[in-house]
Amino acid sequence: MRILSSELKDHVGETVHLEGWLHKKRLLGGLTFINLRDRRGIIQAVIDDKNEVDKLKGMQIGTVMIIDGKVVDEPRAPGGAELHEVKLEIMVPVEFEPPIEVDKPLSHKPENLDTLFEHRAIGLRNLDETKIFLIRSNLLRLIRQFLYEHDFVEIQTPKLVANAAEGGAEVFKLDYFGKPASLAQSPQLYKQVMVGVFERVFEIGPAFRAEPSATTRHVSEVTMLDIEMAFIQSHEDVLNMVQDLLYFTVTNIWEQYGNELKQLRAPEPILTPTFPRYSMRQIHELYQEANKTDMSGEIDLTPDEERWICDYAKEHDGSEAVFATDLPKSKMKFYHMSKDAEAALSADLLFRGLELATVPQREHRYDKLVEQMKTAGLNPDDESYRFYLQAFKHGLPPHGGCGFGIDRLVEKTLGLGNIKEAILFPRDINRITP
Amino acid sequence: MRILSSELKDHVGETVHLEGWLHKKRLLGGLTFINLRDRRGIIQAVIDDKNEVDKLKGMQIGTVMIIDGKVVDEPRAPGGAELHEVKLEIMVPVEFEPPIEVDKPLSHKPENLDTLFEHRAIGLRNLDETKIFLIRSNLLRLIRQFLYEHDFVEIQTPKLVANAAEGGAEVFKLDYFGKPASLAQSPQLYKQVMVGVFERVFEIGPAFRAEPSATTRHVSEVTMLDIEMAFIQSHEDVLNMVQDLLYFTVTNIWEQYGNELKQLRAPEPILTPTFPRYSMRQIHELYQEANKTDMSGEIDLTPDEERWICDYAKEHDGSEAVFATDLPKSKMKFYHMSKDAEAALSADLLFRGLELATVPQREHRYDKLVEQMKTAGLNPDDESYRFYLQAFKHGLPPHGGCGFGIDRLVEKTLGLGNIKEAILFPRDINRITP
């Protein structure tokens, strides 16, 4: 009966059976020490029997093997115990050295990223890499837990669409049985339609952006959490829901995976249950005063202001998350609700200097929406908008929501330097493999 | 403070506040009866005050409104109570009649399906339609619950790939910043690589197949559950996991949503914890004997045999789910493991006459895999296979898994007649909108 590496300590004095990968091998004082990796981590085994040592001859890191041995207390070993009196059995021999080191702590220097991604299939076996994606999976599990508890229904909307132009990023085009089609850059129109059915919906899925930029922020395929909720009293209801979601998720990941996060040197979160809110104008003024820079010409927040206001809120309000409210009309999409002549009913959720989500109330009034589409240069009679406008024509209540970047959340939760480090197999202008 | 329709009965004697959509309106004995719909269902309100009745003048189904009223016991009303002494407030007036009826029980005649999809944004407000997608969302929730409990890690793999040719369906091609690319038809290669990291992984996401067929079974965008597990003792381990997953999911959806399933006239499941297993040869022989048809020329199962063996197993073994094992070599993909000269270590999971998943053990030995690729006419030196083969070269243990069609599971759980009825916004050769 196989036990897992994490269970070793519970079996001190017993003979146990483990299966996994050879992760490290070294000679020390005439003894052979090996680390065996399985899905829970690593254990250490000490081999002195020459017959057993011989079985390892020529076996490289990655060799799949069975180890039987006696568990002995050893505070210096991973997990506080190690294996003695070892019997080995090779299941899958590996004769090639790994193309990338897997037994060193992670250090993602920018110049190494390309090598990292070229050998991703092996590099992910590094225990720190594995932890990144364990955290990612559990952030998503916590997000779903929160949303189920708040009566949201998960939906799947099509990624193949006739027209992905909602006024956002560039789109990928393809031939769909002789007709032109695009890859969805978000489920925006579909999720709004769906609040007419379930009131509260969410989707977690891929979104595609033909971003022709090569930066630490740009990828062409992202994982988005899309949320939409109806029967809101005001924009504030949406901000609170998104705030509570982020607070719940980040707080709980630290409660449940604090050890792993510390091992990855993730910065401990500084958050208050209520996130501070500053209007765009306030941020410009505060920044101008603190930095002695003239911001009067700026409409939108500059990247430097995004970082600065997060630092400011951290110090001033004890929160690394902050809402920048009253976003300018210039940033407003046709489906956002207008607040007044200058501002939209929309806010950016910033976390550790990066925008995680734009959180607007939607324009739910049919006539007003048609008008805003025209102002945005779109044709409301276009066949691809018919189903969308139909939902409004037949009654949609006040609603709002957001598209929340999961890759960005993982990046910022872990304190990574590049969004691509938070993605298993990232895609950018230069990369379509592996 | 808003209450939801499902909570009405708990407030008999009190004055309550509800918000929702006008779902039905009729005159009866000088009184106006309306149904109000919200995310939990409908309630009935009786209006006698002329001022209130006047507010409804010209208001069509879909009108968004607030109702305040006194809750009165009424066994004949939905939920066992209704509202009297009603005060109405119109939030969003609707002046157009709905293009499709939303207050009738569902009857999806084949000739109606196109109308249904044309007006999907409104048709989904039908309470029975809503239930279909509530069940779908909860089937996915239960699947995740089972897989988390069994130590699987959820992953997201890219849908934009250099080469989607794994020997399956036709692929959609697109231009990726000047390079040729495809849409992934499955996460096959990526999930196998990932068992080298997490041992047990799953993904739930879209898959794309350029199927040039217009049938009740074909769609070009599906939701797939992909599972992969390593360190198996034998193929049987994989069959058992998939069997336990289906048994858990179907059993629990009936425990938790039995009422909704009955209202949708979903057939009650007949399942045993262990699903019967019949080899291809046995099925041919049993079918031949029962139907007096010569099956000696058939290699693969015919669609009629798939239906027949499910009926047979239901009667004979008390199970509507059955494994057809020892699938023929002719059906074997390059990444499947061979059993002997005729058969692969692979089985089809059939449920109510339809294949939900093919469940093989994988070929995990590098040399053997390269050989099988060549036999399949693929070039192992192709750059797009490099990362995949790298994982094997550096050690992958015995593993297996499956791609499980979520849309098919929903269709068969509910007893629908067409896979498209199980998808919010289906895509086929003739349909890219809405």
Q: A326 vs A311, B133, B150, B306, CA distance in Å?
A: 20, 36, 46, 60
CB-CB neighbours of A273 under 10 Å: 10
The domains of chain B, with CATH numbers, are: 5-92 (2.40.50.140), 127-422 (3.30.930.10)
The token pair at A323 is 């809402």
Which chain A residues are closer than 8 Å to B396 by Cβ?
Answer: 64, 92
Distance between CA atoms of residues A22 and A63, nearest Å: 5
Q: Of the candidates B389, B178, B165, B387, which has an alpha carbon nearest to the alpha carbon of residue A426?
A: B387
- CA-based nearest distance B391→chain A, Å: 6
Determine, for residues B94 and A394 on separate chains, whether the beta-carbon distance falls below 8 Å.
Answer: yes
Q: At residue B126, does pLDDT exceed 60?
A: yes
pLDDT confidence of residue B166: 66
Q: Identity (one letter) of the amino acid at B293?
A: T
pLDDT confidence of residue B271: 98
pLDDT confidence of residue B169: 63
Mind listing the pLDDT tens digit of every residue in chain A (434 residues)? 999 999 999 999 999 999 999 999 998 888 999 999 999 999 999 999 999 999 999 999 999 999 999 999 999 999 999 999 999 999 999 999 999 888 887 766 666 788 889 999 999 999 999 999 999 999 999 999 999 999 999 999 999 999 876 655 689 999 999 999 999 999 999 999 999 999 999 999 999 999 888 888 889 999 999 999 999 999 999 999 999 999 999 999 999 999 999 999 999 999 999 999 999 999 999 999 999 998 888 888 999 999 999 999 999 999 999 999 999 998 899 999 999 999 999 999 999 999 999 999 999 999 999 999 999 999 999 988 999 999 999 999 999 999 999 999 999 999 999 999 999 999 999 999 99
Q: What angle do CA B4, B7, B9 make, to 5 degrees?
A: 135
Buried b (16+ CB within 10 A) or exposed e, B182-203: bbbbbbbbbbbbbbbbbbbbbb
B170 touches chain A (CB under 8 A): no
Q: At residue B167, does pLDDT exceed 60?
A: no
Q: CA quadruple A340, A342, A348, A353: dihedral positive or negative?
A: negative
Q: A87 vs A7, A24, A51, A364, B268, CA distance in Å?
A: 19, 17, 9, 69, 52
Report, in this order, helix, strand and coil percent for chain A, each rounded to 5: 35, 30, 35
Which chain B residues are closer than 8 Å to A144 by Cβ?
Answer: 141, 144
pLDDT confidence of residue B108: 64
Top pLDDT among B321 and A167 is at B321
Which chain B residues are closer than 8 Å to A39 by Cβ?
Answer: 151, 198-200
Q: What is the pLDDT of residues B24-83, one digit of tens each?
A: 999 888 899 999 999 999 999 999 999 999 999 999 999 999 999 999 999 999 999 999
Determine, for residues B60 and A394 on separate chains, whether the beta-carbon distance falls below 8 Å.
Answer: yes
Buried b (16+ CB within 10 A) or exposed e, B253-276: bbeebeebbeebebeebebeeebb
The token pair at A303 is 């990247």
The token pair at A70 is 């006696």
Q: CA quadruple B364, B367, B370, B376: dihedral positive or negative?
A: negative
Helices B406-414 and B127-149, axial angle in degrees (round to 10): 120
pTM of the model: 0.97
pLDDT confidence of residue B111: 65
- For chain B, give the mean pLDDT: 95
Distance between CA atoms of residues B15 and B83, nearest Å: 9
User: If you ran DSSP here, which 8-state letter would residue A397 be given?
Assistant: -
Q: B residues 235-274 near A, CB within 8 Å?
A: none
B434: which residues sit within 8 A by CB, 6+ positions away? A384, A386, A387, A388, B117, B118, B120, B121, B425
A431 touches chain B (CB under 8 A): no
Q: What is the pLDDT of residues B299-313, one digit of tens each?
A: 889 999 999 999 999
Determine, for residues B196 and A124 on separate chains, whether the beta-carbon distance falls below 8 Å.
Answer: yes
Q: Are B312 and B288 in contact (CB under 8 A)?
A: no
Which chain B residues are closer than 8 Å to A429 by Cβ?
Answer: 177
Which chain A residues are closer than 8 Å to B423 by Cβ?
Answer: 156
pLDDT confidence of residue A169: 63
Give the per-residue SS3 of B114-134.
HHHHHCHHHHCCCHHHHHHHH
ipTM above 0.90, yes or no: yes
Q: A residues 30-89 near B, CB within 8 Å?
A: 38-39, 60-64
Q: What is the pLDDT of residues B88-111, one digit of tens each?
A: 999 999 999 999 988 887 776 666
Determine, for residues B398 and A91 on separate chains, whether the beta-carbon distance falls below 8 Å.
Answer: yes
B21: which residues sit within 8 A by CB, 6+ positions away? A196, A395, A397, B36, B37, B38, B61, B62, B63, B64, B65, B125
SS3 B334: coil
Count Cα neighbours of B269 within 13 Å in the Cβ-side half-sphere.
Answer: 23
